[in-house]
Structure 1
């Protein structure tokens, strides 16, 4: 899961606007999955709030990016 973060960041920083949006989505998903795995392995159960909050924020960030992309 953490190995997917590198290609996602590469895709988010290069290419067309649609490719950057796909990289943003992939980076958000890889980060959330990695954090969920780490919380289940090492953290207390109350730490599950961080990856779940990041899920909502990643989705909201994608909507904002798509809105800005649509105005061009």
Structure 2
């Protein structure tokens, strides 16, 4: 088995086993579950893009997953900043 076939199989496995559960988590669930789904989807996307750049044989294509990883970490920080107590279906009781 040559390297391109191996990386093609690994990329397909990541697409099937990683993207489907992450999309389910990102679409349904609480705010924290959606955040976990978003992080899982980003990680799988980075790995799939790395696998595709190896399959094609162009190392210049590695810039896209690197930028995606940096932007995803910043996006996660922004998303967690927006998560405030009470947005997850919990009521905040203010004391008088």
Q: Same fold (TM over 0.5)?
A: yes
33, 53, 58: which one aligns with 2:47: 33
16, 21, 36: which one aligns with 1:7: 21
Output aligned runs, 1:1-72, within 5 Å.
Answer: 1-3=14-16, 4-70=18-84, 72=87
Within 2, Cα distance between the matches of 1:43 and 1:55?
21
Gap runs ≥5 in structure 2:
1-13, 88-96
Structure with the greater alpha carbon radius of gyration: 2
SS of residue in 1 equivalent to 2:83:
helix
Tell me the C-alpha RMSD between the 2 structures: 1.3
**How high is the TM-score relative to the length of structure 1?**
0.92
Following superposition, the deviation at residue 41 of structure 1 comes to 1.1
